[in-house]
Structure 1
Amino acid sequence: MAAIGKKQALAVAPDITTAKAVVLRGPSRGKAGGYKAPDFTVWVRNRIEGIRAHLALYTNPNSTTYRRWAESARQAAIAMGRDGEHCGRILASLSRAYIKDRKVLPINPYGGWKESMLADEELANEIRKYLQELGKFITAEKLVEFLAREDIMEKHGIETKISLSTARNYLNELGYRFRVEKKGQYSDGHEREDIVYYRDEVYLPALKGFQDRSFVFEPDGSVITLSLPARVRRTVIWYHDESIFYAHDRRQNYWYHKDAPVTPYRKGEGVSFMVADYFSADFGWLRTQDGEPAAR
């Protein structure tokens, strides 16, 4: 008989007696009797359950795939919600390797089953912690860089760098959505009791008194002049025009967790830059005496 390769050997069907002898359980409790629950990751546990299902289908006389190794593997893979052909072949190899050496556990290949790295709960928790540290500055690029760190790759057995599209899928899988932040109540202090009192009881009455001695400019451009008593001068009202620009005003979309609470927000964030000027309906923008540069 010609020699067969290692991969072929893993796919060769074992005899029924050998397959039946496989016991999938944790370490013994000793004198107390019974067995401890095995401390497997979700990924390994899923594969072990796949091996269990495969061997049960192969060794149980009541199974429709009894004594049919490859067909049993395909059916077990389908029962796990996987592709019957591709994942069935992988499951057959895992089962054969486990029968040969009970100390060998499936190793997460991160992609061999089209499985997300997030199936590893320990890694998923590390990613969640990292994203929480980033706060609202989460990006797919930063997640790619995090999973490409030497210490992370070595700790979790990651062999290749993920793509940006995969990173975005992981963020969605973890509950994050790239959208404009949901805004709660606007909190800028304009409705404070003392400010409302000053506006209604001091500022607006004073402005009304000035307007009574000012020209009125209609929307059509016409001007209504006033007949003022002797020695009462016309009032020219100058308004202060002010705009404030913030360093972080431009960015509106972030990765937010879908269950993140809505919180009150402040107007703008980061370093600010103020642009201010004065203008009136009578003379326009405030200028210097020579009329050239703006008086800012």
Structure 2
Amino acid sequence: MNNTLLDNENVLLAVRRYLAAKNLGTISTEELCRHVNNIILPTLGLTGPNDRICTHTAWNWPKKLGYICKDVKKGIYVDGHEQPNVIAYHEKFLKEIASYERFMCTYDDQTMESIPPHLCHGERKHVLVAQDECIFHVNECPRRQWLKKDQQPLKKKGNGRSIHVCGWICKTIGQLRLSEEQIKAQASLPEADRLRATDAHKTIYPGKNHNTWWDLNQLMSNLADTVDIFEFTHPGKVGVFLFNCSSAHEGLAQDALNVNNMNIGPGGKQCALQSTMIPLSNPPPQPGRPDTRGQPQHLVFSPDHPDENLRNQPKGMHVVLEERVSVWDELVKRSKKEKPVGKCKDCAKSQVKKDAERRVAEAEAMGHEDVIEEADIRLQDEPEEPGFVPLLMVDFQRLIHNVLLLIHTLCCDCVIQEGS
């Protein structure tokens, strides 16, 4: 059996990386043929008369590497649920849920009567509150309709206007909302003492010239009303809030340590970021230079700064790096012009190049990803304002950060979890 160019390990690796870097559904055999002949083979020094492939060969190579050319239809989206990191998270999530089940009521299978939990002194009953979201479209119609043989309804083009509903439900009262009697009682109270909302459900009509699409800010506003309603309808109980997985729930706190929210110089429109600790992993200081590792660092100038224009203003990257003495010295040392390096090779890459390298890395790592910092999650950080103490757990799968949130209020500990 004759060996082909694909039997060359270097060619095989280069073709694999090229295919992995392509966006989903954009692989073209013609482009693959040109890339192999013009880029891969010459780079590897394969320039002989037989070191070329035709479009027919380029059509067969993806098949040998596990790709299939098929009709694209709507189907079930599978995103690495069998990966080790996902399985590990599932086990952790189930243990976390199980730890709360002993505080919850169970129900008799025959009579459906609630069976209260056995609580120790100081423990309180927990109630599971599940959240979900759904979008309805004006032009949606039943999939099965009663029609005569010669009838064929004309469907309107597009989905039409959207209706987005965010809802909450629990086993105790069903939909999380006040009863008619409770609403009447609320109406008799002074306006300052009333609940801002009597129903935890939120309905919006997103689209052009209408409401904005559902996002994290709207979820946080709805969450505040939901917690108030839960405290009113379940006094003295602990709420375990189970969120659905949605990319709209992802976000960073406004003062999160995000370099994208920093300017090079001080002041300006950049965000005032929270204080931090200089990492111990920073380079060791040069002889005679102070060691700033492990010291607290404020990213905003003090109110009594000598320069009045800089008081309470964000410092910017330049000042922050100068305060981290060993890092600044290392940046200056690496520069030939005795100035700190502006952009490294990775930062100077185009977004297209970064995306391609990311897809290659994901393919090689079988779906593993870095875990983002707990303090940077907006959904966790936001409830701190009214006296909440949150605890966050992250890492579900590549496209979804599944959040577990434990929130304790001053008068009613509300445990918030986000799961699938």
Higher relative contact order (CA 8 A, sep 6+): 2
Q: Which protein shows a greater Rg?
A: 1
Structure that is richer in helix per residue: 1
TM-score, length of structure 2 as denominator length? 0.22
